[in-house]
Structure formats: C-alpha cells, structure tokens
C-alpha cells in the first residue's frame, strides 16, 4: 500500500510539474501578451484621444456641442433605452423557457437566438429594407397608413434589437441550466406561486449573468454601425447615431471632429469595461463569502 501511495504521489508531482512553465517561458508569454494588447488595443485607443484634442480643447468641446452631434447622442441614447429593456425581457423569457422546460421547437429557438451572431449586420439591415422599405412586402401598406419604419427611429430600433438580441439570453441560459430546478421546486412546495418563484428565486440567482448581459447588450446597441447604417438613411440631425456621425464627419475630412465624437464612444467602452470589472470583483467576493459562510446566502 505504501508503494502504491508513493507511486500515486510521484505521478501527481510529475503532473503538476508538467503544467508548470519555466520562469523565462512565463515571462516571454506575458511579454507577448502585453505587447499584443498595447499594439492593437491601448495604442489605437490612445490615438483616438490624441487626434480628438489635436486642435485644442475648445475645438474638442465645440465638436461635441454641434447640434447634429447632440442629435446623434440623443438618438443613440433613445435607441438604447428602447432596445435594451425589450431585449432584456425577451432574453430572460427565452432563457427561462430553454433552461427549465422541454418543448417542441426548443432546438429551433436556440438556433434563432444565435442567428444574429452568424448573420452580417448589413444583411440584417437589408432584411428590414425588404420587409418595410417602400418596395418591400409591407411598403405599400405602410405608405397607405402613413407609417414610416425605414429611415426612421422604428427601423433603427428593430435593426439594433436584432443584432443585440443574443447577449442577454446567451448569458443566462448556461447559468440557469447549471443551477437546475431544485430551488424553484422547493419554493413551489412551500406554497409560493409561479410568479413569486420567478421573481424571488429564479431572478436573484442569476442576477450577475443578467447584469453582464445588460451591459454587453447596451454597449453593442450604442456602438452598432452596420445594420443601423442600412436602415437609417444617414439623415443628418434626424437618423444619425453616434457611429454614423463619426463616419460622416470622417468622410467629410473633418477628422478632428470625427475623433472627438469617437472619443465619446471610447469613453462609453471604458466605462462599460470598468463596470464589468467591478461586477466581476463583486461576484467573486460574494461567491467567496458564500463558500465561507453558507448561512449568509
């Protein structure tokens, strides 16, 4: 038995050594990673702000105070305020159905959720043109009823919702599946209604995944270009979002103003990253606290 134990210990030690790299190898790998991140992430981001302030602080804030830019900011926020809550609702419902129930068409629903990941945003915008454009399937009916979807806020909202739909659902599905249904069944056994179980048991248990999904969905909604570009019509002061405004200023050879507006999107990205990092820290702390004191849950 002693020999067998010694043999297992030897194999374990060898296995551990097999996963350990030499110090110089670790340093080289870390150096490569830092160099890659600096070259392709940090330097381009820093260049955005350098170009934005290339003509001075006054020009920077003047570009942001431009009425057309202000209109783009307002439209971007409006689209996000509409698309994100709707996607949160649809994402939570879809994740709940897929993870908690077996039904005909479940695989199809999963495929549809992943569809925006595999379809080009430009193609998704063209889909709405085919459906709601003047020459589209519903174009004449919409014209007769004085309804405008394409080249207006409804079309931009629909295109944004399409490309951002998977984020909430895909964050929640694996979490709900991993947790199973034991907690919900216990709540129902104790007399809780279906709605009480959902709001007081299911949602609190997936709050971190839900928050991550909302953050990612909002970041993509504010930064979407391809699909929105197709359905917006690029009407200055009316249907230009922030990404479209940046593109228009750049092609008008107003690079300083373009980078000034782009810096707003960059700041939004940095804020999103900061919030995500803080939430991950909170999640780790909550998990460690729950592990050390199960009664604290």
Q: Beta-carbon neighbour count of residue 127 at 10 Å? A: 18
Tell me the pLDDT tens digit for each residue of 219-274. Answer: 899 999 999 999 998 888 899 999 999 999 999 989 999 999 999 998 888 888 88
- Which DSSP string corresponds to 239-270? T--HHHHHHHHHHTT-HHHHHHHHHHHHHHHH
Note the pLDDT tens digit of each residue in 267-276: 888 888 888 7
105 vs 96: CA distance, rounded Å: 15
Residue 69: CB partners within 8 Å, gap ≥ 6?
63, 245, 257, 261
- Does the reported pTM lie above 0.75? yes
pLDDT at 72 over 60: yes
Rounded alpha-carbon distances, angstroms, from residue 288 to 178, 204, 279, 281, 296: 19, 17, 14, 11, 11
Question: At what angle are helices 106-118 and 67-100 packed, to 10 degrees?
Answer: 150
pLDDT level of residue 4 (50, 70, 90 thresholds): low
What sign results for the dihedral spanned by CA atoms 212, 214, 217, 218? Answer: negative
Q: 148 exposed, middle or buried (CB, 10 Å; 0-12, 13-18, 19+)?
A: middle
Structure confidence by residue, pLDDT tens digits, 23-35: 888 888 889 988 8
* CATH code of domain 56-290: 1.10.3720.10
Structure tokens at 178: 């991993």
Q: Are 63 and 261 in contact (CB under 8 A)?
A: yes
Q: What are the residue ranges spanned by the domains of the chain? A: 20-52, 56-290
């Amino acid at each position: 038995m002693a020999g067998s134990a010694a043999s297992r210990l030897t194999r374990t030690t060898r296995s551990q050594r097999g996963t350990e790299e030499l110090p110089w190898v670790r340093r080289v790998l870390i150096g490569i990673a830092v160099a890659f991140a600096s070259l392709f992430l940090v330097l381009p981001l820093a260049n955005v702000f350098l170009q934005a302030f290339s003509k001075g602080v006054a020009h920077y804030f003047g570009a942001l105070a431009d009425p057309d830019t202000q209109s783009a900011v307002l439209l971007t926020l409006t689209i996000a305020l509409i698309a994100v809550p709707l996607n949160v609702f649809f994402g939570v419902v879809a994740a709940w159905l897929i993870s908690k129930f077996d039904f005909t068409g479940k695989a199809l629903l999963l495929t549809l959720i992943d569809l925006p990941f595999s379809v080009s945003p430009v193609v998704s915008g063209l889909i709405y043109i085919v459906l709601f454009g003047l020459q589209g399937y519903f174009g004449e009916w919409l014209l007769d009823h004085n309804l405008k979807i394409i080249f207006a806020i409804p079309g931009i909202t629909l295109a944004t919702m399409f490309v951002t739909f998977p984020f909430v659902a895909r964050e929640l599905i694996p979490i709900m599946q991993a947790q199973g249904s034991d907690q919900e069944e216990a709540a129902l056994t104790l007399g809780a209604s279906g709605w009480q179980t959902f709001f007081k048991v299911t949602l609190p248990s997936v709050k971190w995944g839900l928050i991550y999904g909302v953050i990612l969905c909002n970041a993509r909604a504010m930064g979407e270009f391809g699909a929105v570009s197709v359905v917006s019509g690029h009407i200055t002061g009316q249907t230009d979002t922030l990404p479209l405004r940046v593109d228009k200023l750049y092609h008008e050879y107003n690079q300083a103003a373009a980078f000034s507006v782009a810096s707003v999107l960059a700041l939004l990205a940095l804020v999103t990253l900061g919030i995500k990092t803080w939430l991950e820290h909170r999640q780790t702390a909550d998990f460690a606290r729950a592990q050390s004191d199960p009664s604290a849950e």
